[in-house]
């Protein structure tokens, strides 16, 4: 992670701070802006054409470039870039096997975006900064409508200020009406923690932490019963996060406890599958570990090699497709999620730029 006053990448949030990336070498979440150039946010009501951000897809795709998904098509695909003046891109609801370009960007997209999330209703959750530098006071968790058609790049439901740290990732069952668990890197301690935010109050509660957290945070997961998990680095040396520690909070409250039995070497995003297993990205080693339990004892039920360094992703509503960001290759990778037959199905990168650090790829609605 970089200096806390600079934005980091991917793990690049403050929460994932100081990661340095060279030709796909290991990185970690970065905080703040990391010196990216900004073309200015395009605040619009409804659709924001990709060209308004200066993105020019191949000529063969120009005619389809700003066409929004048709009504009655459910869901969509999203990708986030950390070093981008737009931050989040929306793709057609159909599986993007043809590598079609993005069709929109949510209005008021943020800078310095690490993990993005979608809930079971298709609402999009974007932690990020309103300014390129990511100064304190500019961090928000923005929620975009997904329940109405079309379910992509919908209206902004609200931007919740985050005042205690740099938000990195988020998880919710229904972000419009319920709790949103947000992982963040505390502005003072530079260590990971969780805050619970709601649109109803337009605010976040006091940080939820644990004395064994000694590094930046990455992914957060919350199940339907309101239990929370946080992926953190075990330590940070000279701004570089290393190792992995998983923290569990029953009811997402109290001091929590360290989950035991994990086998991965680095931190990353988290998700929960249909069987209640916890998926944990071992980002620097390009692997996915799947654990049962983790409340707090974990039992590994699967480990899979990924195409590149992947920090954040999620499962589709049916639970059989895993969509992830691929920092190494600057793409979104889509896998068949099956513990007995896990495999890469396809990737897409149209409209994305590897140098801007593709941190997250997700599908909406999520499981």
Q: Cis ω on the peptide bond leading into residue 299 (within 30° of 0)?
A: no
**10 vs 19: CA distance, rounded Å:** 7
**10 vs 311: CA distance, rounded Å:** 7
Q: 3-state DSSP call for residue 86?
A: coil
User: Could you tell me the pTM of the whole model?
Assistant: 0.83
Does residue 123 contact residue 141 with C-beta atoms inside 8 Å?
no
Q: Are strands 228-232 and 217-222 parallel, antiparallel or unpaired?
A: antiparallel
**102 vs 151: CA distance, rounded Å:** 14
pLDDT digits (tens, 9 = 90+) for 8-46: 343 454 333 434 333 333 333 443 222 222 222 222 222
DSSP labels, 202-261: TEE-SPB--TT--S-EEEEEE-TTS-EEEEE-SEEETTEEEB-EEEEEGGG-SS-EE-B-
Burial class (CB in 10 A: 0-12, 13-18, 19+), 274: exposed
pLDDT digits (tens, 9 = 90+) for 224-283: 999 999 999 999 998 899 999 999 999 999 999 999 999 999 999 999 999 999 999 999
Section 107-112 average pLDDT: 86
How large a percentage of the chain has pLDDT more than 90?
Answer: 71
pLDDT at 160 over 80: yes
Average pLDDT value for the chain: 83
Domains of the chain, CATH where assigned: 50-364 (2.120.10.30)
Q: Which residue has the tokens 């499962």?
A: 315
pLDDT category at 306 given cuts 50, 70, 90 is very high
* pLDDT number for residue 24: 33
pLDDT category at 150 given cuts 50, 70, 90 is low
**Cβ-proximal residues to 81 (8 Å cutoff; 6+ apart), any chain:** 87, 89, 113, 352, 353, 356, 357, 358, 359
Residue 361: strand pairing partners: 79
Of 121, 218, 217, residue with least CA distance to 175: 121
End-to-end CA distance of the chain: 31
Does residue 17 contact residue 239 with C-beta atoms inside 8 Å?
yes
Does residue 203 contact residue 15 with C-beta atoms inside 8 Å?
no
**322 vs 271: CA distance, rounded Å:** 10
* pLDDT number for residue 16: 39
């Amino acid at each position: 992670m970089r200096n806390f006053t600079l934005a980091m990448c991917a793990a690049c949030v403050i929460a994932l701070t100081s990661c340095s990336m060279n030709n796909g070498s290991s990185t970690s979440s970065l905080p703040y802006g990391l010196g990216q150039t900004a073309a200015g946010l395009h605040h619009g009501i409804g659709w924001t054409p990709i060209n308004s951000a200066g993105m020019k897809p191949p000529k063969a795709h120009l005619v389809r470039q700003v066409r929004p998904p048709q009504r009655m098509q459910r869901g969509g695909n999203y990708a986030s870039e950390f070093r981008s003046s737009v931050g989040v891109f929306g793709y057609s609801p159909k599986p993007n096997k043809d590598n079609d370009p993005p069709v929109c960007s949510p209005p008021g997209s943020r800078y310095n975006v690490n993990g993005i999330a979608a809930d079971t209703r298709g609402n999009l959750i974007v932690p990020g900064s309103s300014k390129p530098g990511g100064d304190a006071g500019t961090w928000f968790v923005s929620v975009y409508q997904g329940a109405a058609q079309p379910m992509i790049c919908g209206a902004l439901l609200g931007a919740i200020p985050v005042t205690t740290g740099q938000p990195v990732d988020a998880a919710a069952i229904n972000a419009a009406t319920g709790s949103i668990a947000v992982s963040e890197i505390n502005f003072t301690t530079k260590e990971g923690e969780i805050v619970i935010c709601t649109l109803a109050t337009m605010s976040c509660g006091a940080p939820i932490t644990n004395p064994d957290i000694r590094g930046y945070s990455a992914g957060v997961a919350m199940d339907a019963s309101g239990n929370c998990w946080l992926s953190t680095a075990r330590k940070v040396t000279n701004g570089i996060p290393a190792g992995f520690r998983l923290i569990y909070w029953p009811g997402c409250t109290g001091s929590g406890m360290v989950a035991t039995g994990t086998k991965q070497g680095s931190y990353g995003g988290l998700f929960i599958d249909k069987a209640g297993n916890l998926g944990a990205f071992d980002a620097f080693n390009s692997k996915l570990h799947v654990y049962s339990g983790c409340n707090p004892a974990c039992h590994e039920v699967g480990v899979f090699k990924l195409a590149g360094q992947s920090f954040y992703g999620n499962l589709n509503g049916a639970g059989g497709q895993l969509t992830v960001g691929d920092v190494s290759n600057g793409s979104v990778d889509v896998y068949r999620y099956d513990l007995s037959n896990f495999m890469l199905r396809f990737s897409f990168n149209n409209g994305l730029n590897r140098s801007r650090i593709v941190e997250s790829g997700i599908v909406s609605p999520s499981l």
